[in-house]
Structure 1
C-alpha cells in the first residue's frame, strides 16, 4: 500500500493498493474464423461510440447542429462512470475564483436535474474562502485549498434518465446493449464501425466517427498513434469498482471525522489492518447513503480481461469487508447495508491519443487561451491559472474520419489526472460532437473544420471560452 498525499498537483489524498500476483495465461494456439458478410444496420452522419459523459455530450451536440446521429452504448444506460460507475461526485466546475468555467452541456444537465438529485454549495458560495464554509464543504467533496467549489454530488438514476431523454429529444438514434468491435477503414479513413449485439455482428456507416469509448478502442484499432505511460505517484491509473451503503448517517460520520481527528486516524488504521484493501466513505446526494470510490488498485490493465475480472473480485470482497468493519466501529454506520455495487468498473486510464495538439503540464503556468481553445478546465490548485483545452487534443495526428473525446484525449500523464474527470469529458465530448457535425455540413475532414466557426457554435451552446477578440454568436 502507498499513501499519496494531496499536493499542488493533486486534489485528494488517497491510499493505493498493489495488485495480486497474476499467473501466466497458457498459450493454447488459435482458431480460424471464416469470412462473412455483415449486414449494415444504419447509415448516418455521425456515429458516436460510447454513451459515457463525453459520448452523451457529443451525440447531443452533433444532433443539435443538425446532424443525423447514432449513439452506440454497450450498457443499458447513458452516463458511463458518472452513473453506472457511481462516480457521483462531479469534480470542480468552477475555478479558484468561483467563476463557472465548465458550462455548456454540463450546465444544462445540472440545471435540468431535479433539485433533490443534486447536493452541493449554493451559487453564492462558489469561490468563498470563508473558513467556516470551506471547513463545512471540505467534508462534502466541495472545498479544497480553503476554497468552496461547485463540485456537486448527484443521483445517478436521475442522471441516467436525463441523459437519455436529452439525446432522444434531439433526435439521436440510441442503440443500447451493443458493443463496438472494429472500425471500418477505407483508404486510411474511418467510415463507421462494426458492433456485436444479441442480433450478432452488424455495421454502421458514418461520415464521421467519434470515439468515446474511454479506452481509445476504435482509434487504436484503426491504427492511430497513442501512448499509455502512467504517473506512478497518482491515482489516475488505478481501477476499482465503487459501491454504496444505505442506512447510514453521514452527518454523524462527518461530525466524528471532523471533530475527533485522532479517533478518525485510529479508525482508518484499524480498517487497513482488518480489511487490507480499505477506503474512506464519501458523501452522496443524500445523508443516508455513503459512497465508496475505492479501494484504488494499481498495476492492473483496463485492456486485460483477467485484470478486469481480478479487480471486480477484489472490489466486491472489499465491499463486504467494509460493511462488517463500518457496522462494528464506524459512527453513523450501525444500520448500514449493502445498497449496490457499480455495474461499471471504475477505469481511470488505458490509452491516450497522440493528437495534433495536447494538454501539457508545461502549459499549466501559462494560463493563456490557445488559438484552438474548445474548453477551459480549472487548474488543480490555486497555484495555477485556468488551463486551455485545444481542439487539436481531439484530432488524431494522421487518421481521418475520427475524433476522440473523453478520458483518452491527447494529453500528458500529469494532465490526464484532471482531463479524465466527468466535467472535462462533457467539455471534450461537446466539442467533438459539434466539430463532427460541422465537418459533415461542410464536407470537409474533421481536422479541417474552421476553428473560429467551431468556437462560435460552442459559445452559442453555452460553452465558456476565452476568445482574444469578441466572437459574434
Structure 2
C-alpha cells in the first residue's frame, strides 16, 4: 500500500493498493473472421460515441447548435461515471475565490435537478474562508485548503433521468445497449463507426465523430497519436468499483470522525489490518447513504479485460469486508447494508490524445486566456490561477473528421489529474459538440472551425470564457479604427 499525499499537484489524499500477481495469458493462436457487408443503421451530422459526462454534454451542445445528432451508449443510461460509476461527488466547479467557472451544460443540469437530489454549500458560502464553515464542509467533500467550494453530491438516478430527457428534448437520437467497435476511416478522415448490439454489427455514418469513450477507443483505432504515461505514486491512474451502503447515519459518523481524531485514526488502522484493501466513506446526497469511492487499485490497465475483471473481483470482495468491519466498529454504521455496487468500473486513465495543443503543467502559473480558449477550470490549489483549456486539446494532430472530449483529451499527466474530473468533462464535451456542429455547418474539418465563432456559440450556450489578449487587441483595434 502507498499513500498519495495531498499537495499543490493533487487535491486528494488516498491509500493506493498495488495489483495482485497476474499470470501470463496463454498464446492459443487465431481464428479467421470472414469479410461481410454491414448494414448502415443511420446517417447523421454528428455521431457522439459514449454517453458519459462529456458525451452527454457534446450531444446536447451539438443538437442545440442545430446538428442532427446520434448518441451511442453501451449501457442503459447516460452520465457515465457520474451515474453508473457512482462518482456522485462532483468535484470543484468554483474557483478559489468562489466564482462559478464550470458553467454551460453543467449549470443547466444543476438548475434542473430537484432540490432533494443535490447536497452542498449554499452559493453565498462559495469561496468562504471562515474556519467554521471550511471545517464543516471539509468533511462533506466541499472544502479544500480552507476554502469552501461548490463540490456537490448528487442523486445518480435523477441525473440519469435528466440527462436522458435533455437528449430527447433536443432531438438527439439515443442508442442504448450498443458498443462502438471500429471507426470508419476514408482517406485519413473518420466518417462514422461500426457498433455491436443484440442485432449484430451495424454502422453509423457521420460528418463528424466525437470520441467520448473515455479511453480514446475510436481515435486510437483510427490511427491518431496518443500517450499513456502516468505517475506511479498518484491516485489518478488507479481503478476501482465504487459502492453505496444504505441504512447509515452519516451525521453520527461525521461527528465521530471530526470530534474524535485519535479514535478515527485507530479505526482506520484497524480497518487496514483487518480488511487489507480499505477506504473511508464519503457523504452522499442523503444522510442515510454512504459513498465508498475506493479502495483505489494501482497497476491495472483499463484496456486489458483480465485486469478489468480482477479489479471487479477485488472491489466486490472489499465491499463485503468493509460492511462487516464497519458494522462492528463504525459509529453510524450499525445497521448498514449493501445498497449498490457501481455497474460501471471506475477508470481514471487509459489513453490521452496527442492533439494540436494540450493542457500543460507549465502553463498553470500563467492564468492567461489562450486565444482558442473553450473552457476554464479551477486549479488544484489556491497557489495557481484558473487554467485555460484550448480548443487544440480536442483536435488530433493529423486525423480529420474527429474530435475528442472528456478524460482522454490532450494534456500532460499532471493536468490529467483534474481534466479527467466530471466538471471538466462537461466543459470539454460541450466544446467538442458545439465545434462538431459548426464544422458541419461551415463545411470544414474540425481543425478548421472558426474559433471566434465557436467561442460565441459556447457563450450563447452559457459557457464561461475569458477574452484572450489577442481578442482584446483586436477589439481595441476595431474601436480605434471606428
Q: Which TM-score bucket, shorter chain as reference? A: over 0.9
* Residue 390 (structure 2) aligns with: 390
Match of 1:275 in 2: 275
Distance between the aligned counterparts of 1:442 and 1:426, measured in 2? 24
Query: 1:410-425 maps to which residues of 2 (within 5 A)?
Result: 410-425=410-425
Residue 426 (structure 2) pairs with residue 433 (structure 1)? no
> What is the alpha-carbon distance in structure 2 between the residues aligned to residue 10 and residue 284 of structure 1?
22
- Which residue in the other structure is 2:50 paired with? 50
Aligned to 1:328: 328
**Within 5 A, what are the aligned runs for 1:392-407?**
392-407=392-407
The match for 2:480 is none
**1:215 matched residue in structure 2:** 215
**Which residue number in structure 2 is paired with residue 7 of structure 1?**
7
Structure-2 separation of matches of 1:404 and 1:206: 15
C-alpha displacement at 1:233, in angstroms? 2.0
Match of 1:74 in 2: 74
Distance in 2 between the 1:297 and 1:109 partners?
A: 31
Match of 1:100 in 2: 100
Q: Aligned residue for 2:228?
A: 228
The unaligned stretches of length 5 or more in structure 2 are 476-482
CA distance in 2, matches of 1:412, 1:403: 18
Q: 1: CA distance between counterparts of 2:292 and 2:23?
A: 29
* Residues 2-56 of structure 1 deviation map (CA, whole Å, 9 limit, x = unaligned): 0111111111110000000000000000000000000000000000000000000
In structure 2, what is the equivalent of residue 367 of structure 1?
367
Between the two proteins, the alignment pairs up a number of residues equal to 472
CA distance in 2, matches of 1:12, 1:262: 21
Partner of 2:29: 29
Matched, 1:246 2:231: no
Question: Pairwise mapping of residues 150-189 of structure 1 onto structure 2 (< 5 A)?
Answer: 150-189=150-189
| CA root-mean-square deviation | 0.9
Residue equivalent to 2:113: 113
Unaligned runs of 5+ in 1: none
Determine the C-alpha separation between the residues in 2 that align with 1:467 and 1:43.
Answer: 37
Distance in 2 separating the partners of 1:133 and 1:359 = 32
State the distance in 2 between where 1:445 and 1:8 align.
Answer: 38
Cα deviation, 1:119-151, whole Å, max 9, x if unaligned, reads 000000000000000000000000000000000
- Partner Cα distance (2:12, 2:393) in 1: 26
Shift, 1:261, TM fit: 0.6
Give CA deviations for 1:240-273 in whole Å, capped at 9, x if unaligned: 0000000000001000000011000000000000
Q: TM-score, normalising length from structure 2?
A: 0.97
